Amino acid sequence: MGNKKEGKKIKQTFNLKLNVYLLLTIIPLSVLGYYFAVNNESLFFLYEWLLAALVIISILFSIKNIVSIRNELRWVAISILAFLIQFSVLGLFLGPLTHYLMFYLYYVFAIFSFVVFIITIRKNKTLRIIPIIFTIITGLFTLYIVFLNALWGNNLS
């Protein structure tokens, strides 16, 4: 009986790590997006669609992990989903929905994400580094948004 539980926990950990590795592909994809933006702007739409597809696949995989995991590792999957939703709101703000009210929507999702990350750090004993990294990244994104919010509407010329 213990062997079966141990094997199930290993599979759940593998699925969570796979979800994190899928998130890490955002980094080389962003390098490709930078290349398109600088050298071949007509292909930048390709980066945008690949990033959207990657985020959607990661969200679906996170939901699958939340449904299938029945122990404390579920909170890691929830923190991955919270980060992805917050990242999606940031991407929508920087993309097609550049409106002032999106600042407040981002702040709501960032606060929600911070709460989820803190709960995950407290409840999870094995993969604590994941919500810690998400907390740092969300903090950096939030500082960027606060800076944009402070500059909004100012004439800098």
> For residues 41 and 102, what is the distance between their CA atoms, to the nearest angstrom?
26
Tens digit of each residue's pLDDT (9 = 90 or more) over 57-91: 999 999 999 999 888 889 999 999 999 999 999 98
Residue 156 maps to a domain: no
Domain count, the chain: 1
- Burial class from Cβ neighbours inside 10 Å (0-12, 13-18, 19+) for residue 136 reads exposed
Residue 30 maps to a domain: yes
Residue 70 maps to a domain: yes
**pTM of the predicted model as reported, rounded to 2 decimal places:** 0.88
Residue 157 maps to a domain: no
> For residues 145 and 111, what is the distance between their CA atoms, to the nearest angstrom?
13
Residue 57 maps to a domain: yes
- Which domain covers residue 85, as residue numbers? 2-151
When the pLDDT of each residue in the chain is averaged and rounded to a whole number, the result is 89
Q: Give pLDDT, residue 157.
A: 64
